[in-house]
């Protein structure tokens, strides 16, 4: 396991705290860490709402990266509530592809931290619509 993935896993673990925000909103069940081109790690958590207007942890982390002035991501790690990793949902994949239009194929996604299984976005999104 390379140290960047380990740091990303630890960063996601540190922000993952499920909590009820209100009767119709909860957050923190899923956490994510993204590695920017500069080498900085940004984190985010999911925010789930009863009406479906929530946001995934991956996009939340990417929003944090963009807020800090960075627009290039090289790695994505999502930590599910059961402690396992998973692929970004379709909305997150589309967001990553649009963000990284020319280089999205090279973005690495941690699929299984325990078994060091990494795939590239080109495997998850082989033929983008544009």
Name the residue among 21, 121, 31 with its Cα closest to residue 74.
121
Phi, psi of 9 (to 5 degrees): -60, -45
Question: What CATH number is associated with residue 33?
Answer: 3.40.140.10
The dihedral built from the CA positions of residue 34, 58, 72 and 105, taken in this order, carries a sign that is positive
pLDDT tens string 10-55 = 999 999 999 999 999 999 999 999 999 999 999 999 999 999 899 9
Q: State the residue for tokens 């930590």.
A: 79
Within a domain: 90? yes
Domain of residue 36 covers 3-15+26-124
Residue 126 banded pLDDT, cuts 50, 70, 90: confident
Query: CA-to-CA distance for 6 and 18, rounded, in angstroms?
Result: 22
22: tokens are 């209100």
Q: What is the pLDDT of residue 127?
A: 82
- What is the token pair recorded at 36? 């920017």
- Position 129 in a domain: no
- Does 20 map to a domain? no
Q: What's residue 130's pLDDT? A: 60
**Is 58 among the catalytic positions?**
yes
User: What distance in Å separates the CA atoms of residue 41 and residue 33, rounded to the nearest whole number?
Assistant: 6
- Looking at the domain assignment, is residue 92 inside a domain? yes
Q: Region 74-89: what's the mean pLDDT?
A: 95
How far apart, in whole angstroms, are the C-alpha atoms of residue 42 and residue 33? 6
Of residues 58, 70, 94, 108, which has the active-site annotation?
58
* Dist CA 84 CA 53 (whole Å): 24
Span 120-129, mean pLDDT?
Answer: 88
Q: Count CA within 13 A, CB hemisphere, residue 24.
A: 6
**Cα–Cα nearest to 62, from 48, 41, 79, 83:** 41
For position 27, what pLDDT does the model report?
Answer: 97
56 in a structural domain = yes
* Percent above pLDDT 70 for the chain: 98
Q: What is the pLDDT of residue 128?
A: 77
Give the per-residue pLDDT at 111. Answer: 97
């Amino acid at each position: 396991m390379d140290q960047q993935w380990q740091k990303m896993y630890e960063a996601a673990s540190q922000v993952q705290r499920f909590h009820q925000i209100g009767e119709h909103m909860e957050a923190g069940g899923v956490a994510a860490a993204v590695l920017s081109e500069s080498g900085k790690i940004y984190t985010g958590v999911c925010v789930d709402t009863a009406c479906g207007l929530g946001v995934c942890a991956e996009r939340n982390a990417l929003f944090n990266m963009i807020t800090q002035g960075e627009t290039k991501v090289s790695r994505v790690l999502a930590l599910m509530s059961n402690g396992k990793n998973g692929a970004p949902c379709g909305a997150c994949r589309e967001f990553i592809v649009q963000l990284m239009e020319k280089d999205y194929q090279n973005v690495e996604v941690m699929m299984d931290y325990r078994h060091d299984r990494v795939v590239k976005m080109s495997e998850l999104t082989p033929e983008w619509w544009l």
